[in-house]
């Protein structure tokens, strides 16, 4: 089934809507279920609540589960909440275990979670409860228990028979993980190697013992970096005794990477949590206000610095014209250095040592080059424009010094936070911009005060 573009989905929905509104259930099901689950989800999300309620009555829990696995994560909790509790519980039960756990973790009403678990089958409920115990954003919280495991003492023929039996309920079968009699992870074998191996060979004779795994408490971002580095399609999760607990698949890692990128972007933009499409104005304001209040006080501090140089401004009023230029340049170059530093930190693996000195040294050299070029250029422009070489020199030197210091600050702050085990993305763009405003104003007016005699002659 091929995915449709928006126009094609609208055409498909027109046909589906006719069948839905005319209560032609068989026709609706034939048209809707013919679509790719991604397109089913996109069409489903675009409908009003009353239409979605009608769709619930026409689809079985297993069919609705396939749709829910493709629904945007920002909306899935609200949609689950509008279903009848019994139906929602059955839908969650039919979903991939890790996807169901993600939804239940996002539910604020823990009584609702308990209600869903009570309605589910005992087997599904127990599997979900095990995963709910793991801390959010860890390997344990994103792993699935729907995988195929084989014993090392099986023959290839026995393993193939076991695979055919277990494969329908597994999330992936490209890798088969091997355990010993104590259920400890001892190896891995690819589906390809299993197929071409002789039937009477033992699994331990054809498996690879070089299996990479992660502990259940590992941070999900570290897991994503490991899967990226090794190009894995799946990664086993173990406890402290190397017992196999579950696996993490590449589709879950893609979700993690999107989540981490959104989280970092929100911090760089200056608010503490990712805003969702369906957030109310009050919810969005709560997430933005803490940083804005901090920046407000920093801005007042900047204003007080300017006030301290009031006498300098009174004597050379033209200096005020260049305040936005110098402060803006400082903010821009600081944000650029910040982005490079955070990217370098994000790109490095947990086992890779960050060369702090090298990063700062390279940024310092970049600041000197960019500062010198911009300083010379602005000196010539201001000297020609205002017919004052001393004013041009002051602005040019201020720009040069500001860009050097701001670039170093932009790189230094996130590196320090990384050393202190604080998320470097907290060194947000607005914070660096405001900090560099203070630095640039101090440099500019300190130089102006020092060379006041040349400016007033």
Write out pLDDT tens, residues 434-449. 788 888 888 888 888 8
Q: What pLDDT score does 9 carry?
A: 67
Mean pLDDT confidence for 186-202 = 93
The residue from 249, 272, 296 where one domain ends is: 249
In a shared domain, residues 295 and 438: yes
In a domain, 396, yes or no: yes
Residues 147 and 171: beta-carbon distance below 8 Å? yes
**How far apart (Å, rounded) are the C-alpha atoms in residues 205 and 395?**
74
Residues 422 and 448 in one domain: yes
Q: Please tell me the predicted confidence (pLDDT) of residue 369.
A: 93
Residue 213 in this model has a pLDDT that exceeds 90: yes
| 328 falls within a domain | yes
Residue 390 has pLDDT above 80, yes or no: yes
Q: Report the helix count and the strand count for the chain, using DSSP H and E.
A: 23, 6
DSSP string, 327-365: HHHHHHHHHHHHHHHHHHHHHS-TTSPP-HHHHHHHHHH
pLDDT in tens, 231-241: 888 999 999 89
Give the tokens for residue 2: 């091929």
203 shares its domain with 312: no
186-195, 285-294, 342-351: the lowest-pLDDT one: 342-351
**350 and 448 within one domain:** yes
Q: Are residues 116 and 198 in the same domain?
A: no
271 lies in some domain? no
Within-domain flag for 108: yes
Based on the domain organization, do 127 and 154 belong to the same domain? no
Q: What is the DSSP string of 35-89?
A: S-HHHHHHHHHTS-HHHHHHHHHHS-HHHHHHHHTTS-HHHHHHHHHHS-HHHHH
Asked whether residue 287 falls in the same domain as residue 230, the answer is no
The pLDDT score that the predictor gives to residue 15 is: 79
In 3D space, the residue among 104, 37, 101 whose CA is nearest the CA of residue 248 turns out to be 101
Mean pLDDT across the chain: 83
State whether residue 198 is helix, strand or coil. coil
Does 298 fall in a domain? yes
Mean pLDDT of 82-110: 88
In this structure, are 224 and 104 located in the same domain? Answer: no
Where residue 304 falls among pLDDT bands split at 50, 70, 90? confident
Q: Which residues contact 274 (CB under 8 A, 6 or more apart)?
A: 259, 262, 263, 266
Q: Work out the pLDDT band at 68, boundaries 50, 70, 90.
A: very high
Strand partners, 236: 247
Per the structure, the complete domain to which residue 214 belongs is given by 149-249
The total of structural domains in the chain comes to 3
Written as six digits, the tokens of 37 are: 């689950």
268 within a domain of the structure (yes/no): no
101 pLDDT higher than 60 = yes
Same-domain pairing of 295 and 429: yes
- Among residues 354, 338, 323, 375, the alpha carbon closest in space to that of 419 is found at 354
Give the CATH number of the domain where residue 176 resides: 3.10.580.10
Residue 92: pLDDT over 80: yes
| 110-149 pLDDT per residue, tens | 888 888 998 898 888 888 888 888 888 899 988 988 889 9
Write down the pLDDT at residue 423: 61
Same domain, yes or no: 233 and 186? yes
Please give the backbone phi and psi of residue 248, each rounded to the nearest 5 degrees, phi first: -110, 125
CATH code at position 119: 1.25.60.10
Looking at the chain, the whole-number percentage of residues with pLDDT higher than 70 is: 86
Q: Is the pLDDT of residue 226 over 60?
A: yes
Task: Check residues 433 and 46 and name the one with the higher pLDDT.
Answer: 46
Is the pLDDT reported for residue 382 higher than 80?
yes
Of 197, 228, 249, which residue sits at a domain end?
Answer: 249
How far apart are the C-alpha atoms of 234 and 171, rounded to whole Å? 10
pLDDT in tens, 305-322: 777 777 777 776 777 888
Q: Which residues pair with 149 in a beta bridge?
A: 177
253-272 pLDDT, tens digit each: 888 877 766 666 555 555 55
pTM score: 0.60
Stretch 347-352: mean pLDDT: 54
> Are 380 and 407 in a shared domain?
yes
Domain boundary at 112, 135, 158, which? 135
Q: What is the pLDDT of residue 204?
A: 93
Q: Is residue 67 part of a domain?
A: yes
Buried b (16+ CB within 10 A) or exposed e, 8-28: ebeebbeebeebbeeeeeeeb
The verdict on residue 259 lying in a domain is no
* 318 shares a domain with 202: no
For residues 406-428, average pLDDT: 74
Q: What is the domain-level CATH number for residue 447?
A: 1.10.357.20
pLDDT greater than 70 at residue 457: no
Confidence (pLDDT) at 354: 66
């Amino acid at each position: 089934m091929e995915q449709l573009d928006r126009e094609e989905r609208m055409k498909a929905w027109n046909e589906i809507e006719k069948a839905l509104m005319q209560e032609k259930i068989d026709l609706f099901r034939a048209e809707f279920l013919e679509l790719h689950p991604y397109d089913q989800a996109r069409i489903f999300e675009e409908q009003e609540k009353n239409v979605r309620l009608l769709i619930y009555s026409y689809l079985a829990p297993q069919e609705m589960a396939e749709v829910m696995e493709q629904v945007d994560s920002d909306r899935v909790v609200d949609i689950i909440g509008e279903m009848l509790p019994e139906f929602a519980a059955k839908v969650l039960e039919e979903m991939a275990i890790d996807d169901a756990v993600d939804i239940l973790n996002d539910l604020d009403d823990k009584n609702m979670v308990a209600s869903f678990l009570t309605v589910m089958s005992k087997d599904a409920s127990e599997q979900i409860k095990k995963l709910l115990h793991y801390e959010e954003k860890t390997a344990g919280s994103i792993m699935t228990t729907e995988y195929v495991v084989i014993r090392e003492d099986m023959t290839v023929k026995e393993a193939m028979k076991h695979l055919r039996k277990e494969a329908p309920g597994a999330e992936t079968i490209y890798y088969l993980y091997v355990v010993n009699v104590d259920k400890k992870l001892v190896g891995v074998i690819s589906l390809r190697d299993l197929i071409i191996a002789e039937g009477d060979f033992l699994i331990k004779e054809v498996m690879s013992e070089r299996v990479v795994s992660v502990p259940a408490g590992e941070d999900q971002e570290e897991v994503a970096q490991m899967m990226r580095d090794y190009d894995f399609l799946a990664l086993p999760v173990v406890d402290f005794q190397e017992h196999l607990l579950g696996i993490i698949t590449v589709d879950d890692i893609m979700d993690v990477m999107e989540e981490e990128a959104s989280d970092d972007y929100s911090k760089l933009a200056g608010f503490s949590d990712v805003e969702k499409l369906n957030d109310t104005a009050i919810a969005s304001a709560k997430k933005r206000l803490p940083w804005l209040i901090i920046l407000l006080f920093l801005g007042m501090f900047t204003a007080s610095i300017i006030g301290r140089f009031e006498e300098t401004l009174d004597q050379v009023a033209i200096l005020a014209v260049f305040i936005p230029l110098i402060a803006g340049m400082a903010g821009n170059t600081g944000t650029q250095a910040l982005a490079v530093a955070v990217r370098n930190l994000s790109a490095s693996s947990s086992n890779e040592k960050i060369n702090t000195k090298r990063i700062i040294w390279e940024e310092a050299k970049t600041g000197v080059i960019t500062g010198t070029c911009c300083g010379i250029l602005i000196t010539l422009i201001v000297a020609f424009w205002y017919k004052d070489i001393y004013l041009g020199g002051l602005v040019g030197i201020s720009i040069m010094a500001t860009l050097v210091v701001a670039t170093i600050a932009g790189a230094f702050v996130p590196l320090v936070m990384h050393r202190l085990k604080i998320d470097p993305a907290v060194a947000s763009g607005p914070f660096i911009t405001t900090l560099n405003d203070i630095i640039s104003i101090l440099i500019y007016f300190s130089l102006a005060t020092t060379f006041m005699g040349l400016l007033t002659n």
